[in-house]
Structure 1
Amino acid sequence: MAWKTIKWPVYHLFAIALAVLMLYPVLWMLMSSFKESRLIFVTAESLLPDKWVWSNYADGWKGTAGYPFMTYIWNSLVIVVLSTIGAVLSSSLIAFGFARLSFRGRNLWFALMMVTLMLPHDVVLVPQYVIFTKLGWLNSIAPIVVPQFFGIPFFIFLMVQFIRTIPRELDEAATIDGCGKLRLYARIILPLLRSSLATAAIFSFYWRWEDLLGPVLYLNSPDKYTVSMALKMFLDSESTSNWGAMFAMSIVSLVPVIALFFAFQKHIVQGMATSGLKG
């Protein structure tokens, strides 16, 4: 009885301590965005700034390389939106094929697709770069966006598991009513995939928004740079780095991510939970 009495406060104290530990780097970055650049690491042991420097946000918003920071946010949004649409739609269509269609070698192709989940991304960087160079896609968003329209293995796996929980009687009823395979996918399966689609969209948004390697490889013009590249440009190895402005814009760049998480956090849990079931 005594343990049941103290179980609730112990659990919550542990959860709060863990949350503080996980959020401390973000809190430190937030407080550092209000410090002078030269004092950020000198007074690193002090969380609160001695003098609040609000101009870091104004300086950071002016951007770098002659372009305002809004330009980089817009570039990132274009890439993120197009990539997310491509990844979600293509992955759902491929998952429908694996889960509902019968064709020769289906299990083999699904196994090969799953193997790619364990393939390090660095292994395919050089071949992809050579292909995109020959296609003339360098210094454009095509090498970053177009591959997303051919399915993402992780999303395909999640959606296949979810589709398998949908009763096949719905397929049979729709087929009797005259639905072909594409109409069955669009009218029956896709609406029922709402939670998995939301989960895939959220993950795709996060991955593309924070991606640095892709833009660094394929984008050469400053007017096409993304947020992650713009943040890197605040650091200068040959002169004084503007740490205050960089941290300020880092906080700004977190706003869309945090807003998306709180708006759709229930879909992440629901999508991951239901995708783990097998009918």
Structure 2
Amino acid sequence: MEALPIPSDTYKLGFIGAGKMAENIARGVVQLGLMPPSRISTSHSNPLRRTAFESFGVSILSRIDDVIEECDVVIFSVKPQAGEEMSFELELIEFLFLSKKSRLTSEAITFKKKLLVSIAAGIKMKDLEEWPGQSRFIRVMPNTPSAVGEAASVMSLGGSATEEDADIIAKLFGSVGKIWRGDEKLFDAVTDLSGSSPAYIYLAIQALADGGVTAGLPRELALGLASQTVLGAATMATKTGKHPCQLKDNVTSPGGTTIAGIHELEKGGSRGTLMNVVIAASNCSREVSQN
């Protein structure tokens, strides 16, 4: 069956799972003016999460299936809990789609017009597309800097998703950062790199600030300088289009302080260590997915 088009100017956006990532996306969409909050809805039992969404105008519906029924684009922002247990919301979603008792299952044909988007790590496209009556899926892997509008996200289209669907998701997730297209087989590596790397950068900022304190700077000044320097360097890497090696060489004068510092980093195997932490994260995620 051919997918029905989503109305570009009046579609409604829903979130299943009202955690911080969902909040970041919803806020970004509203702040960028992509749609008014009156066209966004979610459902959650936690009053703190409901209040967070209501604070910028998002509608809180009574039931998860009300969100699915009312919205044209539905983002599944639930995540597996520790171990093999899935969150309550995901179990309920599976019940809604798989149980014959669900009032929605008997009307599954109406969901052909909906675009279903998963940002749930570890849940494969093939599993999503097995849900009865559901055929248009897109997987997206964002990361936590979405909270400040600087997410690095990658999306992969399911077999029946259209380019129009991809454009909608690119705009939605573009409201909280940058988004790329990639094959789903890359998603584990994407999660290992962009998902985990903010933690490594925070450690680097802390270490640089500690070095500044050791050199005599006040703690607050050292932390501010380290944070802004990392931000500035990353911005140069993304906006100039120059290779990191070239940018590094531009700062490195013969016999100067920078090359002395780089020499220490190389003696400590810094590049190999950073490569190894990504590989270690990849090995860990592979082990988890096999258990």
Which structure's residues are more often helix, by fraction?
A: 1
Asked which structure has the greater CA Rg, the reply is 1
Coarse TM-score class (shorter-chain normalised): under 0.3
Which protein has the bigger strand share? 2
